[in-house]
Amino acid sequence: MRCLRFFLLFLPSLLSVSAAAQDYPSKPVRIVVPYAAGGGTDTVARLVATRLAATLGQPVVVENKPGASANIGAEFVARAPADGYTILVTAPNFTTSEALFEKLTWKFEDFIPVVHLVRYANVLVASTQSQIPGVEQMIARAKSQPGSLTYGTPGTASNTHLAMELLKQRAGFSMQHVPYKGSGLLKNDLLGGHVPIGADGLGGQMDLIKAGKVKALAVLAPNRSSFAPDLPSLGDLGIKDVDGTGWYGALLPAGTPVAVVTRLHKEFAAALQMSEIRARLTSIGVEAVGGSSEEFRNYLLNERNKWAAIIKTAQIKAD
């Protein structure tokens, strides 16, 4: 009898949630990107938003909320109503913030992973003035002449910084990190020979690689990238346990009704299958992924655990 009374007490709220899910969406949907407009995450979000607006029958607006290493936008979505009208489209910072910031205002469990939108390769390059022809020679020099080599990345605790720290730990060599304020400044110093090695997004470095202005050493992953299949991977060189692949994905606030999560997953997945969207993604150096929400959740958990261990061992502190 007590169980029946408990059920009847909460039945109206359960019916309300069910009705809301069936009517979804009945108003504009907001995609929050925790980075500035014009970047890769923003570009992908706006690309899929156009398709979602058509299939959902409601406007889908992209809002940029940059700052604090993507934590301002993540906190905003974590605190938003769990009704499917506020979606986070984010990148690898999502899986590293808990290990980097002691007083983080959100946690992994505040979100429901919806879909793994895309992945992108990162690449290890050398200045043409460095006279380093390959990864083996880079490692050999770093081991034989400690402190003689530095490497640059777009910033401290960036995806490429962590990938390089993982490579250093696995291959047993030391190089000093030079953090830049973005890829543009890193490229300038690579071209000028001011930094011998760089780790950056493959898409951003491809023009320099094709022009012969920097030397591509290897993709920072076990397998080659479909974006540049002629470039060797670390796996080709026998280093199979280093994966610095980047990603973008969509998440919702925890507590969002299952029916809404399922609907949004379906629409995101359908968008990723469209030939024109896949072609546009390829043109900016990223590759559509898709898959189930559970697969994306497991991927994020693995990434979070992997990078937390690297951050702790390398004693990396956020800027």
Confidence of residue 5 (pLDDT cuts 50, 70, 90): low
Average pLDDT over residues 18-36: 87
Is residue 1 scored above 80 in pLDDT? no
User: Which tokens in the block code for residue 183?
Assistant: 């890829």
pLDDT of res. 147: 83
> Is-contact 11 66, C-beta < 8 A?
no
DSSP 116-143: EEEEE-EEEEEETTS---SHHHHHHHHH
Q: Per-residue pLDDT tens for 102-128?
A: 999 999 999 999 999 999 999 999 999
pLDDT of res. 13: 43
pTM, full prediction: 0.91
215 or 146, higher pLDDT: 215
Give the Cβ contact number of residue 246 at 10 Å.
Answer: 23
User: Which tokens in the block code for residue 99?
Assistant: 């290990």
Domains and CATH numbers, the chain: 30-119+245-314 (3.40.190.150), 122-237 (3.40.190.10)
Q: Per-residue pLDDT tens for 137-183?
A: 999 999 999 888 999 999 999 999 999 999 999 999 999 999 999 99
Average pLDDT over residues 25-30: 98
pLDDT of res. 9: 55
Separation of alpha carbons 162 and 117, rounded Å: 21
Helix (H) or strand (E) holding 301: helix 293-314
DSSP 24-41: --SS-EEEEESS-TTSHH
> Is-contact 98 107, C-beta < 8 A?
yes
Separation of alpha carbons 69 and 97, rounded Å: 8
> Is-contact 305 150, C-beta < 8 A?
no
Q: How many helices (H) and strands (E) does the chain have?
A: 11, 11
216 three-state secondary structure: strand
Separation of alpha carbons 81 and 10, rounded Å: 19
pLDDT of res. 311: 97
Is residue 10 scored above 80 in pLDDT? no
Separation of alpha carbons 30 and 218, rounded Å: 38
pLDDT of res. 17: 46
Give the residue among 46, 79, 83 at the shortest CA–CA distance from 62: 46
User: Which tokens in the block code for residue 94?
Assistant: 């999502």
Is residue 226 scored above 60 in pLDDT? yes
pLDDT of res. 251: 98
Residue 232 DSSP label = P
Separation of alpha carbons 75 and 298, rounded Å: 21
Q: Name the average pLDDT for the chain.
A: 93
Separation of alpha carbons 145 and 147, rounded Å: 6
Could you give phi then psi for residue 163, rounded to 5 degrees?
Answer: -60, -40
Confidence of residue 297 (pLDDT cuts 50, 70, 90): very high
